[in-house]
Structure 1
Amino acid sequence: MSTKYKLHDPTEIYFVSFAVVGWIDVFTRALYRDILLESLSYCRKEKGLKLHAWVIMSNHVHLIISSKEGYLLPNIMRDLKKYSSFRILKEIKESITESRKEWMLYLFSKAGQQNGNNKNFQFWRQDNHPIALDPNLNMFDERINYLHNNPVEAGIVASPADYLYSSAIDYEEGKGLIEIDLLIG
Structure 2
Amino acid sequence: MSIKYKFSNSEGIYFVSFATVGWIDVFTRRVYRDLFLESLTYCSKEKGLRLHAWVIMSNHVHLIISCMEGQHLANIMRDLKKYSSYRILKEIREYPKESRKDWMLYLFGKAGEKNSNNKVFQFWQQDNHPIELDPQTNMFDTRINYLHDNPVEAGLVVKGSDYLYSSAIDYEDDKGLIEIDRLG
Per the normalisation by structure 1, the TM-score is 0.97
Superposition pairs for residues 3-22 of structure 1, below 5 Å? 3-22=3-22
> CA-to-partner distance for each residue in 1:121-155, whole Å, 9 max, x for gaps?
00000000110012424222111101000000000
Superposition pairs for residues 95-174 of structure 1, below 5 Å? 95-174=95-174
Identity %: 75
Match of residue 42 from structure 2 = 42
Consecutive aligned runs of 4 or more in structure 1 exceeding 6 Å deviation: none
> CA-to-partner distance for each residue in 1:22-44, whole Å, 9 max, x for gaps?
00000000000000000001100
Match of residue 177 from structure 2 = 177
Superposition pairs for residues 64-75 of structure 1, below 5 Å? 64-75=64-75
Measure, in 1, the Cα distance between the counterparts of 2:6 and 2:123: 20
Measure, in 2, the Cα distance between the counterparts of 1:16 and 1:42: 18
CA contact (8 A) 2:4 2:131 kept: no
Measure, in 2, the Cα distance between the counterparts of 1:139 and 1:172: 20
Per the normalisation by structure 2, the TM-score is 0.97
1:45 alignment partner AA: K
Aligned residues: 184
Q: Report how far residue 156 of structure 1 moved.
A: 0.4
> CA-to-partner distance for each residue in 1:42-70, whole Å, 9 max, x for gaps?
10011000000000000000000000001
With 126-135 and 31-40 compared, the bigger mean Cα shift is at 126-135
